[in-house]
Chain A
Amino acid sequence: MVVAKMGFNLEEWYAHKLQGEIILKYAGSISSDMITHALETIEENPQLRKERLQTRKKVYNVFVECMQNLYHHVDAPPSGLSVGGSPNFGIVLLVHDGSFYRVTTGNFILRSKVNFIKDRIEQLNSLSDEEVRLLYRDILGNEAISEKGGGGLGMLDIVRKTGNKLEYFLYPYDGEHVFFSLDVYIS
């Protein structure tokens, strides 16, 4: 995959994210079957099986939520991208690194969505654990179900379950696309 535009190099990004012990890596179309297979793979992982129940479940849960965020929200990648023939192209990694697990996702989004995503993540990162819990309950109890089913709970659930801030970068790629990189740490 040779892709470097506006200073962003997808290969370098990918190589950088491979640090640590790789449990799962995937770049391609994010489909329902792919998510099922990916989950089977991580459930069979010996390292994760050794973990206490709470950690193991957190990893599965957060991983599923990250994958399904991609499944529902990716935009088509730029045309001519050597790796991304499919309109729902995304990258997912699950890495065990020291005392934590990291779920990394990467996908292209349209520039028009940048502010929305940035504001949303910044808002979630600014909340205390208690505020996250209350906001979760508030949205669960009050907001109507969205067409995609989540009602805006996905990211919030990830923050709540991990207790960690979301680390993200938005790399301008071309006039139309931005590459969205997200790291979620589960300790």
Chain B
Amino acid sequence: METITREDTPKTPYVKLDGEKGVVEIKGRSIPENSVEFYKPLIDWIDEYGNVPKDNTEINIQLEYFNTSSSKCILDIFKKLELLFKKGFKVQVNWYYEEDDEDMFEAGEDYQSIINLPFRMIEMEE
């Protein structure tokens, strides 16, 4: 599968979808007014990746902050990966948050409570 890379903007995160390595990276801030428009192609990519997945898939989420409209889209990404996990493929979520950022930590906990995927919460020093 082709690799998709998107550079970050003031309102959208850096994204790398690497089908060869089975790694999804989302980094920065995610506050677009129209999150669906931004995330739809990424979710479609993960959908396709689901047809030719690696044995191990890793998703690294390192968000500074995100708006509520992005939160649903991020959940949709997890749901796609959850399907893979249910088929027996290994999927690992790495949720990064800055030290002292309780809101981002809790956001990770929210997803953990909704989605059945192995979550690793990784604290980063300021």
Contacts and interface: CB of A to CB of B under 8 A. Distances in A.
Contacts of B11: 36
Contacts of B33: 32, 35, 68, 71-72, 149
* Interface residues of B, dominant DSSP: helix
A149 B11 CA distance: 15
A39 interface: yes
Nearest to A155: B68
Contact of A148 (B69, B106, B126): B69
8 shortest interchain CB distances as A-B pairs:
A149-B69, A153-B68, A141-B114, A145-B72, A150-B69, A157-B68, A149-B35, A61-B65
B122 interface: no
Given A36-B10, A157-B71, 4 more contacts: A39-B10, A65-B68, A148-B69, A149-B34
5 contacts: A39-B10, A54-B100, A60-B65, A68-B33, A140-B114
Interface of A: 32, 35-36, 39-40, 52-54, 57-58, 60-61, 64-65, 68, 71-72, 133, 136-137, 140-141, 145, 148-151, 153-154, 156-157, 161
Kindly state the interface size class of chain B when it binds its partner: 20 to 34
A140 B31 contact: no
Contacts of B106: 133
Contacts, number: 78
Contact of A154 (B35, B68, B101): B68
Nearest to B67: A64
Interface of B: 10-11, 31, 33-36, 64-65, 67-69, 71-73, 75-76, 98-104, 106, 110, 113-114, 126
Nearest to B9: A36
Nearest to B114: A141
Nearest to A152: B68
Contact of B71 (A58, A133, A140): A140
Contacts of B104: 57
A98 B106 CA distance: 28
Contacts of A52: 100
B73 to A, nearest CB: 8
A145 B71 CA distance: 10
A61 B103 CA distance: 10
A154 B66 CA distance: 11
Nearest to A69: B68
Nearest to B76: A145
Nearest to B11: A36
A53 B98 contact: yes
B53 to A, nearest CB: 24
A65 B103 CA distance: 14
